[in-house]
């Protein structure tokens, strides 16, 4: 999504300074190719799809700073003003310290993430941020340990079976209150393998949220091959054109039809309709745009708008349709599809679409970079739309496999 605003409250430090000798690659691990892109580029995907702006700090080897900046620039888009690249240290802890030194003064929540966990979804970042804010303490993602764990001696002889109910496999990003992290890094007691251990050494509590299997750490060639297969799965699924249908309905906000001043603004098909009462909804209530998003997501097999964006996310309160369309387009393209065309039918007594039909079609076509046609009809007084209680929209979307377009098919 587009990031805007004068300040940010959250910083994400991405540690990409490790050598990765176990991966067996000539370049540092974060710069190794993964499905045609550097691993670091994949690691940034989950960050640049967050609904709120964050300060991004990438910590890279000194010899790779130029490459890291190029990767960040290619990934950041409109958020480039919120990013920086700094040189790392000889240990992970020194690298995190270098990143922490670059955190902006107004930031209160800091996440530390390993670039080697390149497939970590945006939802894991958001869960950690929300938990740090809710608890006021450190939070780390964790998965239950499913294997039987044995304690063995130096000779490999089993000493005991460890109760796995008390164990968890820890992932990143790990999130912290900025003041506590600053305190711990001001005079670290020892070199720790993760930041949660360092915070615990200073007596700060650390909680957990549910981790994600996709956030596994790429350490060995086998891990890299596994990540390659997972990234190839969406592209493999995109082998034929797909058609999706979406529908959305919103009631008019309470009040008279002509009194727009006391209620929400009316937004339909990406356009503001002045002088008319708006539609009720958590965002701007744009039924046409929401139906288009649902049609695109359905065609790509990605679920629906409620599952992707949430129906009550406070960060999307009053958000306009362009926010949803651009992110939906990105998700569809990431799944291996290009948008062929979209058709939208709006059902309602008002507003009168015909004077602005061309304007609306041009706007949506420009956002999606694909033809969008819009039509409108009434229901001859039948149903809630006929009674003037609300507006409905139905959309149909055609998706074409990106690979087919590349081959000129």
Convert the pLDDT of each residue in 134-158 to its tens digit. 999 999 999 998 888 888 988 889 9
State yes or no: 380 annotated in a binding site: yes
Within the chain, all domains assigned CATH 3.90.550.10 are found at 10-236
State yes or no: 204 annotated in a binding site: no
312: left (phi over 0), alpha (psi -120 to 50) or beta: alpha
State yes or no: 249 annotated in a binding site: yes
What does the pLDDT look like over 75-96, one tens digit per residue? 775 444 578 999 998 888 999 9
State yes or no: 191 annotated in a binding site: no
State yes or no: 313 annotated in a binding site: no
Helix 321-334, helix 287-300: angle, nearest 10: 10
State yes or no: 36 annotated in a binding site: no
What does the pLDDT look like over 258-285, one tens digit per residue? 544 556 788 888 888 888 877 777 677 8
State yes or no: 379 annotated in a binding site: yes
Q: DSSP letters of 130-148?
A: HHHHHHSSEEEEEEE--S-
- Answer whether 44's CB lies under 8 Å from 37's CB: no
- Structure confidence at residue 354 as a pLDDT band (50, 70, 90): confident
- Answer whether 56's CB lies under 8 Å from 49's CB: no
State yes or no: 387 annotated in a binding site: yes
Q: DSSP letters of 315-364?
A: GGTT--HHHHHHHHHHHHHHTTEEEEEEEEEEESS-S--GGGHHHHHHHH
Nearest to 336 by CA among 288, 301, 285, 284: 301
Nearest to 369 by CA among 400, 407, 408: 400
State yes or no: 250 annotated in a binding site: yes
Angle at the Cα of 315 from the Cα atoms of 313 and 317, rounded to 5 degrees = 75
318: left (phi over 0), alpha (psi -120 to 50) or beta: left
State yes or no: 311 annotated in a binding site: no
State yes or no: 83 annotated in a binding site: no
The CATH architecture one would assign to domain 239-406 is 2-Layer Sandwich (3.30)
**From the CB of residue 188, how many other CB atoms can be counted at a distance below 10 Å?**
15
d(CA 84, CA 380) in angstroms, rounded, equals: 58
State yes or no: 342 annotated in a binding site: no
- Answer whether 344's CB lies under 8 Å from 293's CB: no
What does the pLDDT look like over 218-250, one tens digit per residue? 999 999 999 988 887 665 555 678 899 999 898
- Of the ranges 37-41, 50-54, 311-315, which is most confident? 37-41
Within the chain, all domains assigned CATH 3.30.1330.50 are found at 239-406
State yes or no: 384 annotated in a binding site: yes
Could you tell me the CA-to-CA distances from 197 to 93, 189, 387 in Å, in that order?
11, 11, 62
What does the pLDDT look like over 96-129, one tens digit per residue? 999 999 999 999 999 999 999 999 999 999 999 9
Maximum alpha-carbon separation in the chain: 85
Provide the strand spans (E) within 229-270. Answer: 242-251, 266-268
Dihedral over Cα of 233, 239, 240, 241: its sign: positive
The CATH architecture one would assign to domain 10-236 is Alpha-Beta Complex (3.90)
């Amino acid at each position: 999504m587009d990031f805007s605003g004068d300040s940010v409250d959250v910083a994400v430090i991405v540690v990409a300074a490790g050598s990765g000798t176990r991966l067996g690659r000539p370049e540092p691990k974060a710069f190794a190719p993964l499905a045609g892109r550097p691993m670091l580029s994949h690691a940034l995907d989950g960050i640049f799809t967050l609904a709120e702006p964050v300060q991004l700090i990438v910590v890279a080897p000194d010899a790779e700073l130029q490459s890291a900046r190029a990767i960040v620039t290619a990934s950041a888009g409109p958020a480039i003003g919120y990013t920086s690249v700094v040189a790392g240290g000889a240990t992970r802890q020194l690298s995190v310290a270098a990143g922490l030194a670059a955190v902006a003064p107004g930031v209160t929540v800091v996440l530390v993430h390993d670039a080697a966990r390149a497939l970590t979804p945006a939802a894991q970042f958001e869960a950690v941020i929300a938990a740090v804010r809710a608890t006021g303490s450190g939070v780390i993602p964790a998965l239950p340990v499913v294997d039987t764990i044995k304690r063995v001696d130096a000779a490999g002889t089993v000493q005991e079976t460890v109760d796995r109910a008390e164990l968890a496999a820890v992932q990143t990003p790990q999130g912290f209150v900025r003041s506590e992290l600053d305190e711990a890094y001001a005079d670290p007691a020892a070199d720790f393998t993760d930041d949660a251990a360092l915070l615990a050494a200073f007596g700060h509590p650390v909680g957990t949220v549910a981790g994600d299997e996709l956030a596994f750490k790429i350490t060995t060639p086998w891990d890299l091959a596994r990540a390659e297969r997972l990234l190839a799965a969406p592209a493999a699924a995109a082998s034929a054109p797909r058609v999706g249908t979406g529908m959305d309905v919103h009631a008019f906000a309470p009040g008279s039809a002509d009194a727009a001043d006391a209620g929400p603004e009316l937004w339909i098909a990406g356009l503001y309709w002045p002088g008319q009462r708006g539609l009720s909804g958590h965002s701007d209530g744009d039924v046409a745009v929401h139906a288009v998003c649902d049609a695109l997501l359905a065609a790509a097999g990605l679920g629906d708008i409620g599952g992707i964006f949430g129906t009550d996310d406070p960060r999307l309160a009053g958000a306009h349709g362009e926010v949803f369309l651009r992110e939906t387009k990105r998700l569809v393209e990431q799944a291996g599809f290009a948008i062929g065309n979209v058709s939208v039918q709006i059902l309602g007594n008002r507003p009168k679409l015909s004077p602005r039909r061309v304007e609306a079609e041009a706007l949506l076509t420009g956002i999606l970079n694909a033809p969008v046609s819009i039509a409108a009809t009434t229901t001859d007084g039948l149903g809630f739309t006929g009674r003037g209680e609300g507006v409905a929209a139905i959309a149909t979307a055609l998706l074409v496999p990106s690979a087919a377009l590349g081959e000129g098919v």
